């Protein structure tokens, strides 16, 4: 459809990734060019199956899925997030269908991303990073011209700490409040491949186009009871097909994720990843979600690569006019949930 926003999603499904795919695949403003998978919330094989299953449930199997890299740049064994996502990486929905199609095998995910992004008009396509940073770091290393060509990169990853927002920190029983969620200091996506994370954040051609959604922001977007009701029944006064199979599938996923987060982190589940898709809708003038950039402040981001704080993202505020990464300090959470539910409602007829 003419006028749509071209977007490529790199992810590791994952419950929250599933909702990012819903937003990118079902919101009428988006043209989802493709999905690439990465090691992260579970093994690469399982994240690929999960992405295909989500698209099958949405009846969007024409969207190509490419399997990416199975391990980090420099580290032998990938980290998996099965503690909150379950053994499959997306536990909790018995009705989630098996994939109706397989992943594309005509080219590697990195080449598929390059080809799809460069096929769009200059300064129109968005790249969304929702898992380990490995695929995107490889893309930028092999094809640096992509950084100049795309309109923007949005990342769900990292954590700032120090009261950056008013979000509640997570904490495990018997521990102090955490800056991170994978360790006391590190957010999971950045922690999985810290060398790749540093490569992305240190790319001067990319920084000015990058929006980071850290835990400090995602912990504002918690799966409360009223959110479950919204996703199950739709907004008050608006007609929805509450018997739609997709509503049950994805509400069940939310319930599972929320329950595991409550059990492990003593926190209602923050739905991290779709926020990094929603921010594009506001930037493009499609939806008003009121992301707060605090007067346009920018940051440099570094990664700790050794020691107890390995994987920690360290944000330094830059002087006015300096180019760097953009990080919101807040958003209108009810508006975000309404936008996400609206995308889910597209599947009601299924």
Asked if the structure places residue 154 within a domain, the reply is: yes
Q: How many structural domains compose the chain?
A: 1
Of 266, 256, 270, 252, nearest to 337 by C-alpha is 270
**Residue 104 to residues 44, 116, 166, 226: CA-CA distances in angstroms?**
14, 14, 42, 39
Catalytic residue selected from 15, 39, 219, 272: 272
Q: What is the DSSP string of 176-192?
A: ---S-SSSSS--HHHHH
Asked if the structure places residue 244 within a domain, the reply is: yes
- Asked if 8 contacts 47 with a C-beta cutoff of 8 angstroms, the reply is no
In whole angstroms, what is the distance from residue 289 CA to residue 278 CA?
8
Of 146, 282, 135, 295, nearest to 206 by C-alpha is 146
Quick count: other Cβ atoms within 10 Å of Cβ 217?
A: 27
**For position 177, what pLDDT does the model report?**
67
Task: Give the global pTM.
Answer: 0.96
Burial 257-276 (b: 16+ CB within 10 A, else e): bbebbeeebebbbbbbbbbb
15 is catalytic: no
**For position 1, what pLDDT does the model report?**
45
Asked if the structure places residue 210 within a domain, the reply is: yes
| The two structure tokens encoding residue 349 | 């007829």
* Bridge partners of residue 8, in order along the sequence: 34, 127
- Per-position pLDDT tens, the chain of length 350: 458 999 999 999 999 999 999 999 999 999 999 999 999 888 999 999 999 999 999 999 999 999 999 988 877 766 665 677 888 889 998 899 999 999 999 999 999 999 999 999 999 999 999 999 999 999 999 999 999 999 999 999 999 999 999 998 877 766 666 788 888 899 999 999 999 999 999 999 999 999 999 999 999 999 999 999 999 999 998 889 888 999 999 999 999 999 999 998 889 999 999 999 999 999 999 999 999 999 999 999 999 999 999 999 999 999 999 999 999 999 999 999 999 999 999 998 76
The residue range of the domain holding 170 is 5-345
Q: What is the DSSP string of 76-105?
A: SS----HHHH-TTSS-S-TTPPPPSS--B-
In whole angstroms, what is the distance from residue 294 CA to residue 296 CA?
6
Assign residue 177 the CATH number of its domain: 3.90.245.10
Asked if the structure places residue 157 within a domain, the reply is: yes
Quick count: other Cβ atoms within 10 Å of Cβ 58?
A: 22
In whole angstroms, what is the distance from residue 49 CA to residue 321 CA?
44
Asked if the structure places residue 123 within a domain, the reply is: yes
Asked if the structure places residue 350 within a domain, the reply is: no
In whole angstroms, what is the distance from residue 304 CA to residue 81 CA?
20
Residues 6+ apart with CB under 8 A from 106: none
In whole angstroms, what is the distance from residue 21 CA to residue 32 CA?
9
Asked if the structure places residue 219 within a domain, the reply is: yes
- Asked if 326 contacts 294 with a C-beta cutoff of 8 angstroms, the reply is no
In whole angstroms, what is the distance from residue 223 CA to residue 91 CA?
17
């Amino acid at each position: 459809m003419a006028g749509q926003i071209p977007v490529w999603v790199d992810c590791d499904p994952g419950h929250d990734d599933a909702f990012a795919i819903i937003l990118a695949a079902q919101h009428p403003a988006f043209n989802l060019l493709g999905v690439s998978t990465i090691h992260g919330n579970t093994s690469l094989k399982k994240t690929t199956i999960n992405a295909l299953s989500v698209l099958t449930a949405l009846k969007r199997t024409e969207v190509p899925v490419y399997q990416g890299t199975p391990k980090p740049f420099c580290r032998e064994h990938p980290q998996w997030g099965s503690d909150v996502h379950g053994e499959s990486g997306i536990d909790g929905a018995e009705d989630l269908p098996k994939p109706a199609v397989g992943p594309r095998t005509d080219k590697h995910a990195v080449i598929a991303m390059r080809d799809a992004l460069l096929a769009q008009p200059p300064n129109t396509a968005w790249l969304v990073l929702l898992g380990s940073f490995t695929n995107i770091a490889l893309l930028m290393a092999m094809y640096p011209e992509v950084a100049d060509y795309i309109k923007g990169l949005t990342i769900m990853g990292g954590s700032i700490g120090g009261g950056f927002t008013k979000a509640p920190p997570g904490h495990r029983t018997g521990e102090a409040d955490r800056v991170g969620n994978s360790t006391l200091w590190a957010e999971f996506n950045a922690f999985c491949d810290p060398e790749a994370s540093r490569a992305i954040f240190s790319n001067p051609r990319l920084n000015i186009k990058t929006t980071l959604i850290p835990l400090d922001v995602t912990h504002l977007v918690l799966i409360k009871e009223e959110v479950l009701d919204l996703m199950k029944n739709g907004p008050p006064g608006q007609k929805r097909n509450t018997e739609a199979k997709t509503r049950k599938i994805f509400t069940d996923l939310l319930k599972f994720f929320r329950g595991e987060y409550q059990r492990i982190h003593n926190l209602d589940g923050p739905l991290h990843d779709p926020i990094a898709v929603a921010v594009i809708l506001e930037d493009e003038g499609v939806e008003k979600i009121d992301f707060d950039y605090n007067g346009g402040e920018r940051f440099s981001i570094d990664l700790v690569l050794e020691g107890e704080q390995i994987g920690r993202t360290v944000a330094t505020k830059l002087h006015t006019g300096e180019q760097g990464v953009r990080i919101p300090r807040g958003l209108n959470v009810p508006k975000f949930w309404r936008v996400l539910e609206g995308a889910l409602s597209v599947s009601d007829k299924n």
